[in-house]
Amino acid sequence: MSRDLRRLARAHAHALAASLALAPAGALAQAADGPGPNLVIEIAGQAQGRVVIDLLPDVAPLHVERMVTLARAGAFDGVVFHRVIEGFMAQTGDVRFGKGTGTLRRAGTGGSDLPDLPAEFSDVPFDRGTVGMARAMDPNSANSQFFIMFDRGHFLNGQYTVFGRVIEGMEVVDRIARGEPPRQPDVMVRVTVED
């Protein structure tokens, strides 16, 4: 994501938190499990727990296929959450530079050896628990990095590909260490696919 987008996200963080505090209790509930496969992430660190993401192949088939391929290959295992912004999102998935071994100064600049994906923008909004693909300025540059929304971020709608929703473990996501990068980043110890 660009620096302008980061600044915009930070500016909206306080307003988002205030509006969510006034939202009805049901508005913050986790999504229900759909027909798609599920991505199961075991997180270690401050968060410590299991997160289940319902993938949306009817919304973003190419992106879901990529996530399933990388997860089944074990590519996400050991990858850190390298960019976590309070009131906005937690980003991970840099399978090249985001492994928890050695320095993480390049985390967030890499992807997989697979080609970048074309955008699959939809009308699915970026709400709390929505999972989207990170990308560079080019809309067709998504590869392996993704982010989970802490709160609503409708300014992202139609600009980033949504490919899933958290259906279990949002309380684990809420505990992920903040920072760009965090001092002690949480790690996706194991990522699997359940059909």
Q: How many domains in the chain?
A: 1
Q: Is residue 182 part of a domain?
A: yes
pTM of the model: 0.84
Q: Is residue 31 part of a domain?
A: no
Q: Classify 66 as helix, strand or coil.
A: helix
d(CA 148, CA 182): 16
For all residues of the chain together, what is the average pLDDT?
Answer: 86
Q: What's the gap between Cα 175 and its chain centre?
A: 14
CB 186 within 8 Å of CB 29: no
What's the pLDDT score for residue 103? 64
Residue 189, pLDDT > 70, answer yes
pLDDT digits (tens, 9 = 90+) for 144-174: 999 999 999 999 999 999 999 999 999 999 9
Residue 5, pLDDT > 90, answer no
What's the pLDDT score for residue 133? 97
CATH code assigned at 10: 2.40.100.10
In this structure, what token pair is assigned to residue 81? 């959450």
Q: Is residue 109 part of a domain?
A: yes
**What are the b/e assignments for 57-94, b being 16+ CB within 10 Å?**
bebbebbbebbbebbeeebbbbbbbbbbbebbbbbbbb
Q: Which domain holds residue 96?
A: 3-23+36-194
